């Protein structure tokens, strides 16, 4: 009578194949998640731009985060928000990855927007980053 089951060698081969596949897939998954979390900065800045436009429609200048009722954190919490420059005619808002957060090593780094739309200048995320 022959016994059924897997031999130790077969189990070790299967485990080795699974380990190799995991080693290949895990870094790619990390990059995919990092790219997906960029939408937090983009969505937050676009919502902030809309709130600024509504504020500017009622007031003579652009608002601070506090005046708009915003916390200094993005909608999902991966970025810190700031309004660096503001006047009666313009504002610049930035989304910077949280220190020790999952986005801190992202190549796109700081996203910025003004009253016209995304700022695609040196020092801020480029158009490829805004495309997610």
Report d(CA 110, CA 99) in Å as an integer: 12
What pLDDT, on a 0 to 100 scale, did the predictor assign at position 31?
82
Report d(CA 5, CA 22) in Å as an integer: 25
Q: Is the sign of the CA dihedral 125, 127, 130, 131 positive or negative? A: negative
Q: Which residue has the tokens 């916390």?
A: 71
Per-residue pLDDT of 60-108, as tens digits, reads 899 999 999 999 999 999 999 999 889 989 999 999 999 989 999 898 9
Report d(CA 73, CA 99) in Å as an integer: 12
Tokens of 38: 């960029």
Record the pTM: 0.80
Q: Which helix (H) or strand (E) holds 119?
A: none
Q: Which residues contact 99 (CB under 8 A, 6 or more apart)?
A: none
């Amino acid at each position: 009578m022959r016994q059924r089951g897997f031999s130790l060698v077969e189990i070790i081969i299967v485990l080795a194949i699974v380990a190799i596949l995991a080693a290949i897939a895990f870094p790619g998954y990390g990059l995919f998640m990092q790219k997906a979390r960029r939408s937090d900065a983009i969505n937050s800045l676009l919502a902030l731009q809309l709130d600024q436009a509504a504020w500017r429609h009622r007031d003579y200048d652009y608002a601070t985060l506090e005046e708009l009722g915003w916390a200094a954190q993005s909608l999902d919490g991966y970025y810190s928000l700031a309004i660096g420059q503001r006047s009666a005619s313009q504002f610049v808002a930035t989304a910077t990855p949280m220190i020790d957060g999952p986005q801190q090593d992202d190549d796109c780094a700081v996203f910025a927007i003004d009253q016209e739309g995304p700022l695609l200048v040196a020092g801020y995320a480029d158009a490829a980053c805004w495309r997610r």
